[in-house]
Amino acid sequence: MGDILVLAEHRQGELREVTLELLTLAGQLGGNVVALLLGSGVDDFAGKIAGYADKVLVVDDPMFANFNGMAYQAALAEIIKSEKPGLVLIGNTGQGMDVIGALAVELGLPFTTDAVAVKMEGDKPEVTRQYYGGKIDGTIDFKDADTYIVGMREAAIPAGEGGKSGEVAKIDNPVTSEITARKFLEYVEAAIGDVDITQSTLLVSVGRGIREDKNMPMMEELAGLMGADISGSRAVVDAGWLPTDRQVGISGKTVKPKLYLALGISGAFQHVTGMKGSDLVVAINKDPDAPIFQYADYGIVDDLLKVVPALIDKLKEMKG
């Protein structure tokens, strides 16, 4: 089989974890792993990536100081033409999704996105994807080609330890003219203070089970450590422990976070209606029969006032 070309992803001076996940996957698939790093002053990243790749191609150019999908597309197109990899892996992320479809059309290559698993069947990748919100899986049949492009879901597989030590090769920027149709301007962080829970990726959601207002700081500490926002049931909003705009449910907000951590919430229908679209639900409740467990992926049946402090300690440990 041909080489596997992996696009490295970085943002605001940090290499994103998805890069190592893709490189780990490429390593598992066999064949030569070639990483492509587009950036400006990114020697650190190149060093780290080399531990996971047989070769690291680096284009060091101010054009790539920040991400621009159209500039990335132009560079990738040229490099794929010259490197002729058998498979190109790109993260199906905010950056990857801005590139894949257009790149594939430009090169006339078969492609798919949001893969959760990839295997090689000879020279062809066999891709598994999810359909209908993960309710069923499906496998992809590609038209024959010399190169296939696959967008891989973030966190679908864990990043391994690496164990390679590829050479780092700086190459010239193949994009010779500036991209004028689209320009990167700046990053804007979501303003702190005006949290909109309908947009939160992680939610620590509290219910009457937290017992007292004075336990709120503990919940806030947990949320802070996780980078999560705080929401709650109507019971805590009524009690005045949280403002009205943090209420989840039929008369509150509908939320769809990646993680919904329900602490001391019984799971009344009026509440659940507002959070059932969450990707992963974890419930901590001392009542094993609480309806919330019917919606949860993981549950802990215990006193949250004991579990939450322990969890806070664990997370602190993990963060070092």
Ligand X SMILES: Cc1cc2nc3c(=O)[nH]c(=O)nc-3n(C[C@H](O)[C@H](O)[C@H](O)COP(=O)(O)OP(=O)(O)OC[C@H]3O[C@@H](n4cnc5c(N)ncnc54)[C@H](O)[C@@H]3O)c2cc1C
Tell whether residue 290 is a contact of ligand X (CB under 6 A). Answer: yes
Tell whether residue 40 is a contact of another protein (CB under 8 A). Answer: no
Which residues, including other chains, have CB under 8 Å from residue 97's CB and lie 6 or more apart? 113, 151
One-letter amino acid for residue 93 of the chain: T
Look at the block and give the residue holding tokens 């950056």: 95
Q: What angle do CA 203, 207, 211 make, to 5 degrees?
A: 130
- Strand, coil or helix: 200: coil
To another protein, the closest distance from the beta carbon of 311 in angstroms equals 4
Selection from another protein, ligand X, none that 286 binds (CB < 5 to 8 A by kind) is ligand X
Tell whether residue 140 is a contact of another protein (CB under 8 A). Answer: yes
CB atoms within 10 A of CB 124: 19
Which residues, including other chains, have CB under 8 Å from residue 90's CB and lie 6 or more apart? 6, 7, 22, 96, 99, 100, 149, 150, 151, 152
Q: List binders of another protein among 151-170 (CB under 8 A).
A: 151, 154-155, 158
Among 181, 194, 214, 320, binds another protein (CB under 8 A): 181
The residue among 216 and 268 lying less far from another protein, judged by its C-beta, is 268
Q: List binders of ligand X among 216-255 (CB under 6 A).
A: 233-235, 247-252
Tell whether residue 264 is a contact of ligand X (CB under 6 A). Answer: yes
Tell whether residue 269 is a contact of another protein (CB under 8 A). Answer: yes
Among 28, 40, 165, 270, binds another protein (CB under 8 A): 270
Tell whether residue 265 is a contact of ligand X (CB under 6 A). Answer: yes
Which residues, including other chains, have CB under 8 Å from residue 11's CB and lie 6 or more apart? 67, 95
**Rounded to an integer, what distance in angstroms lies between the CA atom of residue 234 and that of residue 242?**
9
To another protein, the closest distance from the beta carbon of 245 in angstroms equals 11
